[in-house]
Amino acid sequence: MGLKSGSTFLGDFLRQCGGYAVIDGGLATELQRHGADLNDPLWSAKCLVSSPHLIRRVHLDYLEAGANIIISSSYQATLQGFEAKGISRDEGEALLKRSVEIACEARNIYNDRASKGSWDDFDDGTGLKRNPVLVAASVGSYGAYLADGSEYNGIYGDAITVKTLKDFHRRRVQVLANSGADLIAFETTPNKIEAQAYAELLEEESVNIPSWFSFSSKDGTNVASGDSIAECASIVDSCKQVVGIGINCTSPRYIEGLIQSIRKVTSKPILVYPNSGETYDGEKKEWVASRGVAEEDFVSYVDKWCEVGASLIGGCCRTTPNTIRAISKVLSLRSHRV
């Protein structure tokens, strides 16, 4: 597909959705709920090898809950990580493509059911009603590959440069750009240097599908490393392939201020898909539930996020199809009020 301008691609899609779009929710915890064992450096990407049917099932659960955008299971899927598990480069590339194919298969199943009159909101001109759906190919950070918690603090050390990060990500981005996905989602970006590396890669490789960038934050002002969210958003705003900028894997209580900071430096659509509110202990590799936000409280933020500038909303870690269903209802009501 030819690359539309940043305002056109997501703008057209948002209009199709009624002004707001629903992003899916947490993948790993849903895979575990369906019986997957993710105690592995590959995390949810392990299921690409062991149980792809479970990934498809989770994607479909989110589509049935009202998601307009489903994100592939490639967040932790790196060629280097696969090689460390004895998977060849060719096999690793095939698994990356497979992550997108599985999401596309779920979309096809959803659309097929919709054509049989099962649901929902979007009339595509043929009399069939369904939600419009995009498939986003996930790219996780270098820290996610390290699986040492650095994806949550953005501290990679002085030896890691923009060039190091471009070399690390280059082939994965090339493969995913040609996988059949509608866009690439650079997720949980924890620092300015990685944002710069991604932006340069998109230009150097002339990637011809759109991308969005989402950053993580621990304080509502800066990304996880301490770099300014406004500065990070400015870096990626200037990249023509970038069609949306936002926040994921962050506590809901910080989102409103972060949206306001991003809106000051971009006119591109803003996306937010926070965690449930729990915090992740990178050393113990477990979620600390004491600071969690009840599902109804999470959803109560949605109207405010829209008021300050967000137009694509979903959930990240520990959110469920029930969360997404509730978000979809809120956004649907807003669409009818617009």
Taking only the tens place, the pLDDT of each residue in 250-291 is 999 999 999 999 999 999 999 999 998 766 565 665 656 645
Predicted confidence at residue 287, as pLDDT, reads 54
Q: Average the pLDDT over each of 6-15, 16-25, 194-203, 313-322 and give the range with the smallest value.
A: 6-15
**292 CB neighbour count, 10 Å cutoff:** 17
Please, what are the domains in the chain?
A: 6-114+130-336 (3.20.20.330)
Reported pTM:
0.91
Percent of the chain with pLDDT over 90: 74
Q: Categorize the per-residue pLDDT at 128 as very low, low, confident or very high, splitting at 50, 70 and 90.
A: very low
Rounded average pLDDT over 282-304: 68
Residues in the chain, total: 338
317 marked ligand binding residue = yes
232 marked ligand binding residue = no
Q: What is the pLDDT of residues 47-89, one digit of tens each?
A: 898 899 999 999 999 999 999 999 999 998 999 999 999 999 9
| Phi and psi based region of residue 145 (left: phi greater than 0; alpha: psi -120 to 50; beta: remaining) | alpha
Predicted confidence at residue 131, as pLDDT, reads 84
Q: Answer yes or no: is pLDDT of 226 > 70.
A: yes
316 marked ligand binding residue = yes
Give 152 or 238, the one with higher predicted confidence.
238
Predicted confidence at residue 136, as pLDDT, reads 98
Q: Answer yes or no: is pLDDT of 20 > 60.
A: yes
Cite the DSSP H helix spans in the chain. 6-17, 28-33, 46-50, 52-64, 79-84, 89-115, 142-146, 162-177, 192-204, 229-237, 255-263, 295-300, 302-307, 321-337
Predicted confidence at residue 246, as pLDDT, reads 98
